[in-house]
Chain A
């Protein structure tokens, strides 16, 4: 057997020797030592767990950690590809009056996503979201923020290329961008707006 049991025996012996005013019963000591000595060698899993030095969690704690982790994973699902470094961007479209305004990356090259700002002036709307080929036309996936002026806006990183989009107002009304050229729609018969995105 390894050094483990010997060290344990020594600790038992020294404890018994140092105990004031007690006379150990030799039979009890022998019995204890024989139990320790003859105990079966722990399994590989048990030895690995014994060697593991991470604080344990209670049943409730473990459940909470697992729940939080699953929730975080659910919230961030599908977000990996869109996480690109947003800096450093320089506004270039606003000076030329082009809409939607594009903020081009100065360092990430021709294929890097370009932060593109969309604007809709609709003070009466309660909710506005951006739908297009870049977000699978998913209603509510890209909500716009309402400014005090009643103008709605959102900036999203888009891959370079031609994109078709529209605004979804109050979850039901699909409207085109009055600032952008229109796109025909042979499939569904409802035109959208077009934005050409590229690194400037």
Chain B
């Protein structure tokens, strides 16, 4: 085997190994915003967010949403800047949570008009190691269906305290969705569906007895 051929083979296999890791094959994100000035501004906004430790994926998605919706460059720029601001607010309100899912959910809730203090209340309802992304998503959805935020928060935090799983809380959101689509008043739908989920949960005494000490509530 000649030295030349061996080196060639080695180089080919090294390239094959590198390209087998798809993440390494990705180049920098190029935003297809036609307005060059707006594109630079958006990319700077995303870079600033990254420098502040915020997740950039939701911001890229927000910019791409604008592109797909054929928004002007200026509007995309404003939307991305607003999204970055909401992500930062969510991070403060949900501290110490830092997961992308939780921050994104928090930012979406703020975008739809959920008061920031309610995000704090949801964060406080579960131990910090447990993600509150789903309860926040359900709160957002219930508010989007026309239920007053305070009423929705009350039902969700009661379910959280009673030991409902994220899926059980999510099922509340989808059931209310379906009921409202079928013509039921949003408040009535929430009340009846919350009762339904509650009936699946153990009694407060049993939940308190079986919960880990960090989850027990006075």
Contact = CB atoms under 8 A, between A and B. Distances in A.
Interface of A: 46, 49, 52, 54-59, 61-63, 65-66, 68-70, 72-74, 76-80, 96, 98, 110-111, 131, 133, 136-139, 159-162, 168, 174, 181, 183-188, 190, 194, 196-200
A161 B18 CA distance: 34
Contacts of A194: 141, 144, 177
B116 interface: no
A52 B181 CA distance: 69
10 contacts: A56-B6, A62-B5, A73-B18, A73-B22, A80-B21, A131-B68, A162-B108, A197-B170, A198-B170, A199-B167
Contact of A133 (B22, B61, B71, B181): B61
A181 B61 contact: no
A137 B68 contact: yes
A183 B166 CA distance: 22
A69 B140 CA distance: 45
B49 interface: no
Contacts of A98: 174, 178
B21 A73 contact: yes
A72 B141 contact: no
A161 B137 contact: yes
A49 B99 CA distance: 47
Interface of B: 1-3, 5-9, 11-13, 15-16, 18-26, 57-58, 60-62, 64-69, 71, 75, 78-79, 82-83, 101, 105, 108, 111-112, 131, 133-134, 137-138, 140-141, 144-145, 165-167, 170-171, 173-174, 177-178, 180-181
Nearest to A160: B134
Nearest to A190: B69
Nearest to B29: A136
Q: Which of A133, A162, A190 has the most CB of B within 10 A?
A: A162
Contacts, number: 162
Nearest to B139: A162
A76 B6 contact: no
A78 B23 contact: yes
A161 B133 contact: yes
Contacts of B78: 187
B22 A160 contact: no
B177 to A, nearest CB: 5
B177 A196 contact: yes
A77 B19 CA distance: 9
Nearest to A134: B61
B22 A59 contact: no
Given A159-B101, A188-B65, A188-B66, A200 B167 contact: yes
Nearest to A69: B16
B71 A188 contact: yes
B22 A77 contact: yes
Contacts of A190: 69
Contacts of B12: 57, 61-63, 65-66, 69
Contacts of A184: 112, 144
Nearest to B67: A137
B3 A49 contact: yes
B173 A73 contact: no
Contacts of A168: 68
B165 A110 contact: yes
Contacts of B167: 110, 160, 198-200
A57 B8 contact: yes
